[in-house]
Structure 1
Amino acid sequence: MGKLTTHVLDTAHGRPGAGIAVELFKLEGDARRSLARTVTNDDGRCDKPILEGDAMVPGEYELVFNAGDYFAAAGVSVPEPRFVDRVALRFGIADAAAHYHVPLLVSPWAYSTYRGS
Structure 2
Amino acid sequence: MKVRYNPVVGIVALVLGAVCVFLGLWLALLGEFSPAVVAGLMPMLIGILYLVRPYFWVYPTFVEVPAVVGPVKREFRFQALELDGGKLIAVNPDGTRKRVPVARWLAHSGDWAAVTVNAQR
More strand by share: 1
TM-score (norm 2): 0.24
More helix by share: 2
